[in-house]
Structure 1
Amino acid sequence: MRRIILASASPRRKELLKQLIGDNFIVYPSSYEEPSQLDLNPEELLIKHSIEKARDVAKHFDSGLIISADTSVLYNGEVLGKPSSPENADEMLKKLNGKKFRVVTGLTVLDLDSAQEISEYESTDIWMSEMNAEQISAYIRTGEPLDKAGAFAAQGKGAVLVERVEGDFFNAVGLPLFRLGKILERFGVSVFDEEFS
């Protein structure tokens, strides 16, 4: 059985990967520090971050498949990462309030055995419902927005804010499972194999 390594500390990504392949992977978070200013478009930037995370973790293993991802919310060409404070979360949620925006994930699978690397991105459109100032404040008080890109979680209490999703819902949570499954197939790994059941 191939060793699969998830280069992320995200509990959401861990749960999503578990949904796909069970407990047949290890978690080894990357220590890569994302530079804030790079002369790249948002999709290229997210792919670059996912590549660097995978390569950082690759230094610690001699075989296996490394999966890494980097997710952000894009609104009007602006990348909204994780808020730095409750006030920052408030600003982000007011921007997205009642609007359509995109969740984009850069995804990399690095095969240490063949030294091959596949990197792609997935984009999902989301329409957020309108909230008044008190609803925004109440949501921020739950603490949920503070460690989420764009200050909301489609899989948590933030689900009640999501009016509509177009594209891969799992991408909006942080790991595009359809695209990941297709990339794994290219490395000869099928999620339907008995080893993952």
Structure 2
Amino acid sequence: MLNPTFVLASASPARRRLLQTAGIESVVKVSDFDESQVQINDPGELVQVLALRKAETVAEQFTEALILGCDSVLAVNSEIYGKPESPEQAITRWQKMRGQTGILYTGHALIDQPHNKTLVKCGITEVKFANVSDREITAYVATGEPLKCAGCFALEGKGGLFVEKLVGCHTNVIGLSLPLLRNMLIELGYTVTDFWQ
């Protein structure tokens, strides 16, 4: 039996690159789900609901696919950070984040249409930020990189210079936990190697 088409319900180039690095070619379909519809204060619950909504929105366009939706937020001192809305907000956030330890939550929703099953899980990684200077923060925000990322940093980019330590899955911080995805596929009856290109 042929494996279903693997669909990534995300506009994130970093998530697509992670899948490609792991040998999984995906069809990218951006959900355009309006995240403001979901108001939840628990970060773990929030990312799981958002990941599921994104996957469900894209699933309407397919009948026999495996659809992965993801969403990430960073929580620092009980404050939830998604993508910053402006450079000024990114600078303010970094001034609060520096020297702190945050928790990066990534929700993963996998809709298996051939078997009519859905799994939703959350990956959690602890992130210790360096005590960066105001000058470094301003220069980093000026690159534009933090404006595209939950938590105002890209671990796989220049932001990696400002992360001192990770406890947990590092790919989770990039937006998709590869070990968690593998376990979810196994739970649905697949083997990750089935999707290698």
Q: TM-score, normalised by structure 1?
A: 0.94
Residue 18 of structure 2 corresponds to residue 20 of structure 1: no
Contact 1:21 1:191 (8 Å CA) reproduced: no
Q: Following TM superposition, by how much is the alpha carbon of 1:185 offset from its aligned partner in structure 2, in angstroms?
A: 1.3
Between the two proteins, the alignment pairs up a number of residues equal to 195
Residues of 2 paired with 1:36 and 1:117: CA distance?
21
Structure 1 residues 85, 36: CA separation in 2 closer, same or farther (over 3 Å shift)? farther
The RMSD of aligned alpha carbons is 1.3
Contact 1:102 1:124 (8 Å CA) reproduced: yes
Give the counterpart letter for 1:80 in structure 2: Y
1:7 corresponding residue in structure 2: 9
* Matched residue SS, 2:53: helix
* Matched residue SS, 1:91: helix
Where do residues 83-94 of structure 1 align in structure 2 (5 Å cutoff)?
Answer: 83-94=84-95
The ranges of structure 1 where at least 4 consecutive aligned residues each deviate by more than 4 angstroms after the TM superposition are none
Give the counterpart letter for 1:18 in structure 2: Q
Residues of 2 paired with 1:57 and 1:101: CA distance?
31
Structure 1 residues 114, 22: CA separation in 2 closer, same or farther (over 3 Å shift)? closer
Residues of 1 paired with 2:152 and 2:55: CA distance?
25
Q: Following TM superposition, by how much is the alpha carbon of 1:115 offset from its aligned partner in structure 2, in angstroms?
A: 1.6
Contact 1:20 1:191 (8 Å CA) reproduced: no
Give the counterpart letter for 1:11 in structure 2: P
Deviations 1:129-148 (A, max 9, x none): 11111111111111111111
1:69 corresponding residue in structure 2: 70
1:158 corresponding residue in structure 2: 159
Structure 1 residues 39, 100: CA separation in 2 closer, same or farther (over 3 Å shift)? closer
Mind listing any 5+ residue stretches in structure 2 that lack a counterpart?
Answer: none
* Matched residue SS, 2:131: coil
Identity %: 33
Q: TM-score, normalised by structure 2?
A: 0.94
2:96 corresponding residue in structure 1: 95
Contact 2:4 2:114 (8 Å CA) reproduced: no
Structure 1 residues 133, 122: CA separation in 2 closer, same or farther (over 3 Å shift)? same
Residues of 1 paired with 2:35 and 2:146: CA distance?
20
